[in-house]
Amino acid sequence: MRLLLVRHGQSKWNAARRLQGQADVGLSELGATQADALHPVIEEIGHCRAVASDLERVRDTACRIGAENVRLDEGLREIDVGDWTGRAIDDIRAEDEAAYQGWRAGTSSPPGGETWEAFVDRVTSVIEKELQAPCRNLLVVCHGGVIRAILQHYAGLEPAHIIPVAPASLSALRLGNGKPPRLELFNYLPDRLEFGAPD
């Protein structure tokens, strides 16, 4: 099975460089355009099933990229960032750069936030259920943290060694066939390169 991992398009809080975690923030105008640009790519690849986070920015992205019969699952929500929800990233970093970098590396949690280990368990429990039914290309529309959690669990890529995937980007992970999980595609965008994507 191939996991087609799509991060939602830019949200209004991504544009403002604010951490959102599980806050239900919609797409920005640019985010909608980004998702629309990915539609023909997803259409060409094709998918047999789709599962997505139930938050608005992901639901809208799923619709715009042409996902069909999407099953929404709370288990694919972004990591809960607790007291950092809605705060400007620059302010968090100015206050405690080490805490921010520890959170990005999965080694610490914001006050009141979800631990990385609990988050990975939550996300992979959803994926494991999906793996029970045959599917060539499973489309997973989700959040940047969810993609990092999947890549750590299945491919052994620690979050400290993965840049944030760009909004409305596509990554692909191949599972099964008697081979180790293989990262086939990472951070693909149909119209540009992106090395400085927001958390």
29 catalytic? Reply is no
DSSP conformational letter for 162: S
The helix or strand, by DSSP H or E, that contains position 3, with its residue range, turns out to be strand 2-7
The helix or strand, by DSSP H or E, that contains position 49, with its residue range, turns out to be strand 49-52
Residue 56 to residue 58: CA distance in whole angstroms: 5
- Residue 170 phi/psi, 5° resolution? -120, 130
How many residues in the chain? 199
Determine which one of 8, 47, 114, 143 is catalytic. Answer: 8
Residue 70 to residue 109: CA distance in whole angstroms: 31
194 catalytic? Reply is no
DSSP H helices, the chain, are 12-15, 29-45, 56-64, 89-95, 97-105, 116-130, 144-155
Q: Which residue has the tokens 């980004």?
A: 34
Determine which one of 47, 68, 78, 114 is catalytic. Answer: 78
The catalytic residue positions are 8, 78
